[in-house]
Amino acid sequence: MSASPLPLSLPLIHGLTHAQLTEICRELDQPAYRARQIWKWLYHRFAADWSEMKNLPLGLRQALAHRLSLASAAVTRSQSEAGVGTTTKWLIALADGDWVEEVLIPARGRTTLCVSSQVGCKFNCAFCASGKAGFRRNLETGEIVGLVVVAARNLGAIPSNLVFMGMGEPLDNYDAVLAAVRIINDAEGLSLGARRITISTCGIIPGIQRLAQEGLQVELSISLHASDDALRSRLLPVNRKYPLGDLLEACRIYAEQTGRLITFEYTLIQGVNDSPEQARELARILRPIHARVNLIPLSTVAEFEGRAPPAPVVREFLNILERARINATLRISKGGGVDAACGQLRRRHESDLKL
């Protein structure tokens, strides 16, 4: 008789809720406080190995190691811009040999962690490098939580803000992302406030509608980039499936149902979407919505020929929005020096790392 085969991969402990971990501890005949102890090792001490969990009996550590994996994600390379408090990009190895990147951006007293939700991306926006290599797979809940934990371990503290603006489309991996948000939000764990977590989408309407029902205070950010359908479909092919009018209506309802302000991201590209008429049209279409606009000058990527407009054009675009009483800010994309600016994340390291 052959021995029962070992499972190829164990479930990730970082993908469990506190309640699920408590249930596993109960199955292992452990007292109720054990789950709390483990939770602290995971989310207060950012433990990377079972052997660190010194206040757990050895037998329990072994039993856990047979059932669950602690290795959601691991930093394999880090790149920082020169200077103090500057952007750092980490290349993260996943258990199956896939890779994602995450970026830590310190600014104005915050540390914002930019995480991925998928390996690659399906949506192929014209100026975003992430989509160019195609789609590989969704990240699991435990991998997404693991991204925050490895960042916290390296930083020695939990980042103050989290944005799903790395690789992938969070609302195309809805269940895993939302489950991760709830674990990251858990008051006894990482306790990152929902208002400090931003989900950014290229405009997946059913996801926006579901999100409105979650009762979570997360920030929603829409990658808009154009104020008419023809241009938006050219820049974001997803617009053919979810056109502008329908998207804006879904946003208006979302803002109404949740009472939350929606941020619209608008990447400025010289000669493409930066004219005064386009600014006025943007103000017009956003007027019915409780909205704020974030203007981001394009960061250059090899796969797209466009470039950012000159500073006076950017300023004029901002002025037009402000004069139209649209709440608008200019965001300067950081991390260009380490290929970690908006839209630059791409699994370009794959070949040399597999050597």
Q: How far is the CB of 244 from ligand SAH (least distance, A)?
A: 15
The residue with tokens 């609302």 is 171
| Residue closer to ligand SAH, measured from CB, 38 or 268 | 268
Distance CA 185, CA 197 (A): 9
91 three-state secondary structure: strand
Binding mask 246-275 toward ligand SAH (x if CB under 6 A, else -) reads -------------------x-x--------
Strands 219-223 and 197-201 come out as: parallel
CB under 8 Å to 159, separation ≥6 — which residues?
Answer: 104, 111, 112, 113, 148, 151, 152, 192
212-241 binders of ligand SAH (CB under 6 A): 223
Q: Cα torsion at 19, 22, 23, 25 (round to 10°)?
A: 160
Q: How far is the CB of 283 from ligand SAH (least distance, A)?
A: 19
143-172 binders of ligand SAH (CB under 6 A): 165, 169
Distance CA 92, CA 76 (A): 6
Q: Which residue is nearest to ligand SAH (CB)?
A: 343
Distance CA 66, CA 172 (A): 32
Q: How far is the CB of 56 from ligand SAH (least distance, A)?
A: 38
Interface residue with ligand SAH among 202, 248, 289, 313 (CB under 6 A) is 202
Q: Cα torsion at 3, 21, 76, 144 (round to 10°)?
A: 120
Distance CA 298, CA 341 (A): 10
The residue with tokens 């059932």 is 67
Residue 112 in tokens: 């914002």
**Catalytic site residues?**
101, 342
Distance CA 265, CA 268 (A): 10
Q: How far is the CB of 21 from ligand SAH (least distance, A)?
A: 30
Q: How far is the CB of 48 from ligand SAH (least distance, A)?
A: 28
Residue 200 binds to ligand SAH (criterion: CB under 6 A): yes
| Residue closer to ligand SAH, measured from CB, 214 or 303 | 303
44-63 binders of ligand SAH (CB under 6 A): none
The residue with tokens 């503290």 is 157
Site size toward ligand SAH, by CB under 6 A? 18
96 class by beta-carbon count within 10 Å (0-12 exposed, 13-18 middle, 19+ buried) = exposed
Distance CA 202, CA 200 (A): 7
Q: Which stretch binds ligand SAH (CB under 6 A): 62-70, 77-85, 196-204, 252-260?
A: 196-204
Interface residue with ligand SAH among 149, 151, 321, 342 (CB under 6 A) is 342
Phi and psi dihedrals of 134, rounded to 5? 80, -175
| Residue closer to ligand SAH, measured from CB, 22 or 200 | 200
Binding mask 93-132 toward ligand SAH (x if CB under 6 A, else -) reads --------------------------------x-xx----
289-328 binders of ligand SAH (CB under 6 A): 296, 298-299, 301
Q: How far is the CB of 55 from ligand SAH (least distance, A)?
A: 40
Question: Vertex 202, ends 273 and 268: CA angle to 5°?
Answer: 20
Interface residue list for ligand SAH (CB under 6 A): 125, 127-128, 165, 169, 200-202, 223, 265, 267, 296, 298-299, 301, 333, 342-343
